[in-house]
Amino acid sequence: MISGRVRRRFRSGDADAVRAFYQEFGRAVYTVALGVLGDRGLAEEAVQTTFLQAWQACSHYDPDRDPAPWLYAIARRAAIDLYRRERRHMRSEDQPEMAALPDTFEATWEAWEIRLSLDRLPDEERAVVRAIHFLGMSHRQAAEFLSLPVGTIKSRSHRAHRRLAEMLAHLEELSA
Amino acid sequence: MTCNDVRAAFLTGDETGQFNDHLSQCADCRAAVPELERLRRALADPVVWDEPALSADDLMVALTGPRRSTPSTPVHRRGWPIGVAAALVVVVGVLALLLVRSDPADWTVSLAGAEAAPSASGVLAGWNVDGGSRLVLETRGLEPAPSGTVYELWFMSADEAFSAGTFADPANVQLMVGVPWREYPNLLVTLETADGDPAPSATWVLWNTWDEEEA
């Protein structure tokens, strides 16, 4: 988590604080951009734009507040702008595929929150969650893949999912 | 069983009798089920697991170039250093990302270390998409390819070998292949040099241990 000291340094434009912000939020920004744009190269470009704009606007950032919603708003806008730029480009080449924002756009906030939560899991728990959900493995397969006893996989899985359920509980309230 | 235990169990798909007992008595958890189902699907979405290639150092180099009112030229369009570029995934494109479902893999195959990397191992996961499979290769104990070489994943039958693409960094491998795994069940990762030879090299790194004589 970003400390108050780093937040204050970010506000003053400190480059090391920008680096720390990227290490904390860069993957979540990338997730939002990739969800909107569907292209890794464009998503990387949106990430750079997001952090450049955040840096340029650092004096407007309130260091007493969690930077996540502020950065999310910048990331979302950067992705939309890039999307529109690409859409104009595609129109000029008579390619109508990007005529409207993709359906995935509405889910970007949820994807942002999920990615932040995954990034905040300890590495060994995140590896188990990845094996189960992303790779579709059973506990036994995950145990073999990660070279761990099945019991360890089960306990890590339970701890990880408990943490995720707690960190993401507010999404239930939002959707209710 | 607390509400958080129940929700954790639901997310893992472990819906036992205790889970159902709790659910029948807890209106809050019953109300949370649709969102938990959505969350479970979202956790399988490749987008939330994809890793940016941009390191913090790359970002700072890009941002501290000539300061302008508009963003600096993106790193990837300036041309990355060869090492970074080679680390990028080779084949996945917009189409694959859009076509991939937010589901667990349709199939997984374990790979064992071969002569060139006996202590390495891996799992290849595949998602069936139109025209082939989107692939994610997870490896353990495999170092990045030495300079001037790349790893190459092959789908093979008794008499044909199809390349699914090359990669240099085994930590982040996503590829596409245009042939079905069931028809090309022998999977092989080789180390390749830029020799122009379209066939797999003799330097085997990972394979799914088929019977060589039979193949």
Nearest-angstrom CA–CA distance, B39 and B159: 44
Q: What does the DSSP 8-state code read for residue A133?
A: I
- Please give the tally of structural domains in chain B: 3
pTM: predicted TM-score of the whole model, two decimal places: 0.65
Q: Where are the beta strands (DSSP E) in A92-165?
A: none
Contact yes or no for A115 and B48 at CB 8 A = yes
Residue of A10, A29, A40 to mutate, testing the B interface (most B Cβ within 10 Å of its Cβ) = A40
Nearest-angstrom CA–CA distance, A164 and B4: 10
Judge if B109 and B201 occupy the same domain: yes
Which pLDDT score is estimated for A28?
Answer: 96
Q: Vertex B123, ends B120 and B127: CA angle to 5°?
A: 155
Judge if B66 and B149 occupy the same domain: no
Contact yes or no for B50 and A39 at CB 8 A = no
Residue B213 placed within a domain: no
- ipTM comes to 0.88
Read off the pLDDT of residues A94-115 as tens digits, 9 standing for 90 and up: 555 555 565 555 578 889 999 9
Contact yes or no for A111 and B54 at CB 8 A = no
Which pLDDT score is estimated for B101?
Answer: 40
Task: Give all domains of chain A, ordered by start, each with its CATH number.
Answer: 1-104 (1.10.1740.10), 121-176 (1.10.10.10)
Q: Are A41 and A20 a contacting pair, CB within 8 Å?
A: no
Judge if B102 and B157 occupy the same domain: yes
Read off the pLDDT of residues A8-50 as tens digits, 9 standing for 90 and up: 999 988 889 999 999 999 999 999 999 888 888 899 999 999 9
Residue B147 placed within a domain: yes
**Domain region containing B33:** 3-43
Per-run averaged pLDDT (10 residues), chain B, 215 residues: 84 78 87 87 90 85 56 37 39 40 73 90 84 84 89 87 87 82 88 82 89 61
Judge if B74 and B109 occupy the same domain: no
Report the chain A residue with the minimal C-alpha distance to residue B46. A134
Q: Which of residues 6-35 of A touch B (CB under 8 A)?
A: 15, 18-19, 22-23, 26-27, 30-31, 34-35
What value does the mean pLDDT of chain A take? 87
